[in-house]
Amino acid sequence: MCYNLKTNMYNQMYGNKKMAGRKSLFEPVAEKLIAQIREGRIAPGEKMPSEHELCTHYALSRSSIRKVLDCLEQKGLIRRQPGIGTFVCGNEPVPEKPVVIAMPELPPFSYAYSMTAAIQNVVSEQNCRLVTINPRQLNEKDQFPFDAFIFIDVGGLSKERLQELAGRGFPVIAINRIWEKLSYFSIDFYEDSRRAVRLLRRFGMKRIGAVNGSYFGSYGNAERLRGFRDEIAEHSGIPQIAQPAFNPLTAVDEITAFIRDSKPDALFLPLIGVLDWTLFACKQAGRIPGRDIQLFCFDRPDEEVYADTGLIYADMPIEKTGADAVDYLIRKVRNPELPPEHRVYNSNFVIFNNLLKEV
């Protein structure tokens, strides 16, 4: 039985037998609920009625009902979960507080935009919550209204700041960045590029040029061109790379001049942003993509729009990368002792060019 502390003190001090024989209003209700729990009529793991429902059912004030719940909690019979409810203790697990995952809001034109839906699906399946934020918020303070952060190809946040947060125990994960001291889930831009050059060689293409796409993305462009250069140089070649300015009016002409001067039989495009410029340049140079010049493009193009261009493109496992990453991050929040994880993925190469499919 639970006792009213003030009443007991009064009895001990003054010996008031009349008061000692009285029960507080909440005690019979507490005794009834204790019996129901111990007899299994309220099962372990079951959610208790809300305070409002208990007040209505037992015709007690909210303060009395809170005393009832305090009594049950002191006896280890219930567990309160703020914002979720009160649950009967037992062998069955009490529902965990929803994990809140933050990520940048990706624009529709981002190569990683389709990743958002895959991340949301995993978050929903695990009864967690996804919020989008301005990444600069992580520069401003060290306490956040979310439990973990997914870094995806955005500006405003440095690698060093992410490493600092991770070092303090805040769960952070990098997608498509192979960075030390951080958990990462990344497509291997470098190795994919080397594989792309080897594939073009298999199709008999010897003069393979590239078009710099740094204006459309620094990290992916740099890693892919690094792979391109290394693969060409390994076979005693000299990498030929067009360096167009970020101006559609001049970029097409600059790529056209590059095609006419270097006479490549294939062009390596590290980012999809340079694809349209290159297609126009091929037309100006009198070259037909898919017939007398082969284009290899990274990122997934619209197949209906580009089906007649004879492209080969790298179909990156964007959705799987995002889903695996957020699944790990949720587990990391729930179990801080989980070790860092590093996963690397390769892209599938898709061939639009029917002539090459016959080779």
Cα gap 172→184, rounded to integer Å: 9
Average pLDDT over residues 183-202: 96
Give yes or no: residues 22 and 123 share one domain.
no
Confidence (pLDDT) at 11: 42
Give the other-Cβ count within 10 Å of 123's Cβ.
23
> How many whole angstroms separate alpha carbon 70 and alpha carbon 54?
14
Residue 299 has what DSSP assignment?
Answer: S
Using the predicted structure, report yes or no on whether residue 310 has a pLDDT greater than 50: yes
182 and 197: one domain?
no
DSSP string, 152-204: ES-SS--HHHHHHHHHTT--EEEES---TTSEEEEE-HHHHHHHHHHHHHHTT
CATH value at residue 40: 1.10.10.10
28 and 71 in a single domain? The answer is yes
**93 within a domain of the structure (yes/no):** no
Residue range 143-176, pLDDT digits in tens: 899 999 999 877 778 899 999 999 999 999 999 9
pLDDT value at residue 252: 95
Within this chain, do residues 160 and 79 fall inside the same structural domain, yes or no?
Answer: no
Does residue 2 have a pLDDT over 90?
A: no
pTM: 0.70
Residue 169 resides in a domain:
yes
Structure tokens at 226: 């690094």
User: Is pLDDT at 34 greater than 50 in this prediction?
Assistant: yes
| Average pLDDT, integer, range 42-57 | 90
Task: With respect to residue 95, please indicate whether it lies within any of the assigned structural domains.
Answer: no
Number of structural domains found in the chain: 3
pLDDT(265) > 90: yes
Cα of 297 vs its chain's centroid, Å: 25
Inside any domain, residue 333: yes
| Model pLDDT, residue 17 | 41
Between 155 and 11, where is the model more confident? 155
124 and 273 share one domain: no
The residue among 304 and 203 whose pLDDT is bigger is: 203
Per-position DSSP letters for 212-271, written without gaps between them:
--GGG-HHHHHHHHHHHHHHHHHTT---EEE---S-HHHHHHHHHHHHHHH--SEEEESS
Judge contact between 183 and 174, C-beta under 8 A: yes
| pLDDT surpassing 60 at residue 9 | no
Give the residue with greater pLDDT, 81 vs 202: 202
pLDDT of residue 353: 66
Q: In what order do the strands lie in the sheet with 208-211?
A: 240-242, 208-211, 266-269, 294-298, 312-315, 348-351
Is residue 210 one of the residues assigned to a domain? yes
**What pLDDT, on a 0 to 100 scale, did the predictor assign at position 354?**
62
Q: Which pLDDT value is given to residue 202?
A: 93
Provide the pLDDT confidence category of residue 326 given band limits of 50, 70 and 90.
Answer: very high
Final residue belonging to a domain, choices 88, 123, 151: 88
Question: Between the ranges 26-35, 45-54, 187-196, 243-252, where is the mean pLDDT highest?
Answer: 187-196
Last residue of a domain, one of 88, 112, 138: 88
pLDDT in tens, 182-192: 999 999 999 99
Is pLDDT larger for residue 21 or for residue 327? 327
- The CATH number of whichever domain residue 283 belongs to comes to 3.40.50.2300
User: Between 356 and 282, where is the model more confident?
Assistant: 282
Q: Is residue 11 located within the same domain as residue 107?
A: no
Average pLDDT in the chain: 87
Both 219 and 124 in a single domain?
no
Q: Same domain, yes or no, for 171 and 197?
A: no
Give the pLDDT confidence of 223-252 residue by residue, as tens digits.
999 999 999 999 878 899 999 988 888 999
Residue type, 108: P
Clarify whether residues 197 and 309 are in a common domain.
Answer: yes
pLDDT 10s digits, 272-301: 999 999 999 999 999 999 899 999 999 888
207 in a structural domain: yes
**Would residue 197 count as lying in a domain?**
yes
The mean pLDDT of 108-115, rounded to a whole number, is 84
pLDDT at 22 over 80: no
pLDDT tens digit string along 55-78? Answer: 999 999 988 999 999 988 888 899
Is residue 199 within 8 Å of 230, Cβ to Cβ?
no
Looking at the fold, whether 251 and 330 belong to one and the same domain comes out as: no
Q: What is the mean pLDDT of residues 75-85?
A: 84
Full domain range(s) for residue 278: 189-317+350-357
Among candidate residues 29, 56, 88, the one where a domain is terminated: 88
Pair (254, 308) in one structural domain: yes
| Helix H or strand E segment including 85 | strand 85-88
For residue 334, what are the contacts with CB-CB under 8 A and spacing of at least 6? 96, 99
pLDDT of residue 5: 36
Q: Is residue 138's pLDDT more than 70?
A: yes
Say yes or no to pLDDT of 211 above 50: yes
48 and 197 together in one domain: no
What one-letter code names the amino acid at 300?
Answer: R
**Does the residue 231 lie in any domain?**
yes
Strands 78-81 and 85-88, bridge-based pairing = antiparallel
